[in-house]
Structure formats: C-alpha cells, structure tokens
Amino acid sequence: MNLGLIADSGQCFRMQQQGHQAWELIAHGRLLTITREAGDIYCFDCSQADFDGIWHHYFDLDRDYEQLLTSIPGEDHFLQAAAQQGRGLRILRQEPFETIISFIISQRKTIPAIRRAVALLAQRFGSQIAPGRYAFPQAAQLAAQPLEALQACGLGYRSPYVLHTARLIAAGQPALDTLACLDDQSLMAALCQLPGVGKKVAGCAMLFAFARLDAFPRDVWINRVIAEVYGGHFPLDPFVGHGGFIQQLMFCYGRSPEYRKLQEQKG
C-alpha cells in the first residue's frame, strides 16, 4: 500500500497528508489517522474492532493488486510506466452517498476545488466528530438544506443536481443498500437515473464505492491519454475484471509531470 498515492489519486477527497508521514481520513463518521512507520508498514490509529470491521474492507485489503499488474502487456510502455509509478495504489470502497455527491460536484472542477466544496458541505451540514472535524452529511442532512445554502459552498450550477439527488436518496429512491445487489449494467442504469449523474459520474461511483472493478470512467484525462497513446481506442479485453484499476493507473500517470513532460517533447 502507498497511502500518499491513494490520497492524491483523485478517487477520494477527504484523505489528506497531515505532517511528515501521516494522513487524516474522515469516513464512516470517524476521524482516522494513519502513520507510515516504514516502507509498506502503516499504523492505523483505531481500535482493532474498527480495523477489522471497517478499514480492512475500506482499503480493500483482501485484493492482490500486484497480481492485477501482471495483465499489462510488456510492450505497453505507457501502462508499464504507470504501473511502476502507481505501485501501492488501491481502489477504495467508499460510502456510496458521499461518493455519488462528490462526483456530481466533480464535473468541470479541479481536484483541489472538489476537496474545498466537499469540506464546506461537511463543515456546514455534517455532524462534528472531533474538534474542527466534520463527517460528510447524511442524505437527510443535505436534503434539508435550501438551494442557496448549497450554492454558497461553491457548487455553482451543480447545486440543484446535488439537492435533488440528496432528496431522492433520503427518500429511499433508490435505496443504496439495494443498489449494491444489482449487476453492473443495472447499477449503471440506476445511478444514471439520478439528476447530475451520467456515465462518467456513475462509473466513478461504481468503481470507488461499489468496488465494481470493471467500471471504466472516462474523464478528460483518460480521453486525452487514449487519444495520445492508443490512437483513440483502448480495448478492455485484456483487463476484464479489473479495467477500472487500469483506468486509475492511467489517470494518475497521465496527470503526472513526468508523463506531461514526455508528451510536451513529442509536440
């Protein structure tokens, strides 16, 4: 596991480096501090019960990500480099409501801007869980807000999307625990019913909340890489079962200064 990589991978917005080798994460109504002891060894500041019952699952610790890398063809130099730089990256199993709302907000925003908006939502409408720390709001907490209160968090034109989706989910339409039982195609269709959710946002929710590793959300960065490296077409057949993980490697490496510099030289 490489926590620094995960925290900055653009799949989560409430995990932040806090000092030298320490990160703070707010999820499941808890504040978790993780400290890197050495190499691959991390210390979770929580009870054994919370680690076993929540965080083990949250960090998807039962999956062997090294094994997934073996599917990358040796002649694919882009993905080989992405795998090299992305060693220790994992796909989180985040909470569905927070993930759906966060990625509705994400459209046409930079990652720092998404973080800021999500932090404001939590601070203003979420429950306080530690001094100066706030949980992401429950659906009912967001649904109770007037549109102007959301707008004041910098959501812009996404405010009505967020409010309407929060109201639907607060009303149990759909019930999120039911969604988890659907197959990929049905889940995609159900998520796309929500206002402000299209294929891309739904794909992010499927991948980063429901652990559907075949979901392959295409944003501007992924499309750019596919255009620059793969001639506009990227077949997923070699990566059945974990294409979304490959997507995340592409996203992280495609945005890295190393790759951007290489592209610049090519002209």
Partner DNA sequence: GTCCAGGGTAAGC
Partner DNA sequence: GCTTACCATGGA
Question: Mask: binding to DNA, 95-114, rule CB under 7 A, as x and -?
Answer: --------x--xxxxxxxxx
**Which window, 14-22, 122-130, 155-163, 233-241, contacts DNA (CB under 7 A)?**
155-163
Task: Give dist(CA 135, CA 25) in Å, integer.
Answer: 10
42/156 with CB nearer DNA = 156
182/226 with CB nearer DNA = 226
Six-digit token string for 184: 């990929």
State whether residue 112 is helix, strand or coil.
helix
Is there binding between residue 202 and DNA (CB under 7 A)? Answer: yes
Is there binding between residue 200 and DNA (CB under 7 A)? Answer: yes
Q: Three-state SS string across 6-38, please?
A: HHCCCCCCCEEECCCCEEEEEECCEEEEEEEEE
Q: How far is the CB of 50 from DNA (least distance, A)?
A: 26
**Binding-residue total with DNA (CB under 7 A):** 40
Is there binding between residue 192 and DNA (CB under 7 A)? Answer: yes
Q: Which of 218, 226, 256, 263 binds DNA (CB under 7 A)?
A: 218
> What phi, psi does 149 have (nearest 5°)?
-65, -35
CA dihedral 253, 254, 255, 260 (to 10 degrees): 110
Non-local CB neighbours of 184 within 8 Å, separated by 6+ positions: 206, 212, 214, 215
Is there binding between residue 201 and DNA (CB under 7 A)? Answer: yes
Question: What 8-state DSSP symbol labels residue 52?
Answer: I
Contacts to DNA by CB under 7 A:
9-11, 103, 106-114, 151, 154, 156-157, 161, 192, 195-202, 204, 208, 217-222, 224, 247-248, 251, 255
